[in-house]
Chain A
Amino acid sequence: MANIKTSEKKSKAQSMGMHTEVLTGRTQQKFFNPDEAENFYYFGTYDVDFNKRTDLDVMNMSAPEANKEIDNLMSQGYGTIVIKNPQGKHSLGVGILNKLNLIFEGSLGYFGMGSCDGPIVRINGRVGWSCAENLMAGKVVIEKNAGSCFGAAIRGGDLICKGSVGARTGIDMKGGTIIIGGDAGAFTGFMMQRGRIIILGDVGINLGDSMYDGTIFVGGEIGSYGSDAVDAELTSSDQDWLRRKLKVAEIGEDFDVSKMKKIVAGKKLWNYDNLEPTEKKGAI
């Protein structure tokens, strides 16, 4: 009998080392031509000019009124807006889904710059809890200190605090980069899933507790490691990237990145799998 060898034909993705995985769900096919899009902003957003500048005094405005006025100015093509007298109001500058240069001449309260996608923001003061939570893209720079839950659940973009930050920085973050020039509080990187945190100063207890993935770089002392946070080797590509990021962040350009510690997930908490339903059945 002839020895018939069965050979499985590998697809391009398999031969590249990518594994097959059945992703169940709705399939929706949309076709587009990659050459047709050249407008550099999302469909339906305003086309603004960075050189067109205006001031907005929000002293006698409520936060919703101020946010609507920012939207109104963007619709008129203003690409640089300076906000005067924010006076620690909460929820200022939320929901901006546009490219924009936004400058705050003062401090913000809770949830400032939340749910944004694209703007470049500079805050010449302090910020309260949950600054830039759910940031999708863009750059937010805080010149002084920030409160707790700094950059909670961010998904992309750069979030920079030149001073120190409170506890639970980068809690549940799913992407993006948080850069801190000073110290960070307890539970930094708590439950982080993706993304990167850079702390040039010291950090409190339970660093990276229950982190699923992502990377934390620390320049100073670590209070203690959280559950499943482990040390990793700092590679030369890490160092190149760190130097570049610190230059972009305008902090710590002379900082010796080669002495930084790199913390990643130990992956011992990766227990979500097909056996779970069977195990549950056995337990019942």
Chain B
Amino acid sequence: MPKKKTKKIKSKSKPKKDKLGTFKETAREKLIGQHIGYRYDVNLLPDYKKITPFLKKYIEAMGWDDLNWLEDVHMGYEEDRPAVFCRNANGWVTIPKSIKLPNNQQDRDMIARELLVKFQMSPKHPLVDLKKAYLKF
């Protein structure tokens, strides 16, 4: 008896939801086996609806109309831990475990900005020691 031809139904593969930094984007990246460029979107513009009360107070105290330099601050990571880069100390400030991280980058960026400002105002910032040791004027 001839075998019945059964139509193979090709299952439509669902588009993969790739997360930033976990996929190889270009042929060049496949070749070298690493991601080229930043791991987070440095061009992401801030959503001012998500600004925290602390940051609001900070920009009022500084006399600015918006986040100013903090628009360029984003939450990144260091050694698997969420962190924010402090350009004055040239190092990463890791986010304390006690802070619960939201699922979207806009909210995470606002937390990173708040923490960075607090770190820069802290008397334990590395620049404070450097200033004491090397300030000329």
Contacts and interface: CB of A to CB of B under 8 A. Distances in A.
B118 A34 contact: yes
A241 B127 CA distance: 33
Contact of A43 (B57, B66, B76, B123): B123
Contacts of A175: 69, 72
A17 B19 contact: yes
Contact of A101 (B22, B36, B63, B118): B63
A270 interface: yes
Interface residues of A, number: 63
Interface stretch (A18-26, A54-62, A164-172, A220-228): A18-26
Contacts of A237: 45, 47
B56 to A, nearest CB: 12
Interface stretch (A84-92, A131-139, A181-189, A252-260): A131-139
Given A194-B72, A215-B43, A40 B128 contact: no
B127 to A, nearest CB: 7
Given A16-B82, A32-B124, A237-B47, A213 B69 contact: no
A4 interface: no
B133 interface: no
B101 A194 contact: no
A31 B64 CA distance: 29
A244 B80 CA distance: 35
Nearest to A270: B36
Given A50-B63, A137-B69, A238 B78 contact: no
B19 A273 contact: no
Interface in A2-57: 11-14, 16-23, 28, 30-34, 36-44, 50
Interface of B: 19-22, 28, 31-40, 42-43, 45-48, 57-58, 61-66, 68-72, 76-82, 87, 89, 91-92, 96, 101, 103, 114-115, 118-128, 131, 135
Interface of A: 11-14, 16-23, 28, 30-34, 36-44, 50, 99, 101, 118, 120, 136-139, 155-158, 175-177, 194-196, 213-215, 237-238, 241, 244-245, 248, 264, 267, 270-275
8 contacts: A12-B82, A18-B40, A34-B96, A38-B121, A156-B72, A213-B37, A214-B42, A244-B48
Given A43-B121, A155-B72, A214-B42, 11 more contacts: A19-B77, A21-B39, A30-B124, A32-B118, A44-B135, A138-B69, A157-B68, A176-B69, A194-B43, A271-B28, A274-B34
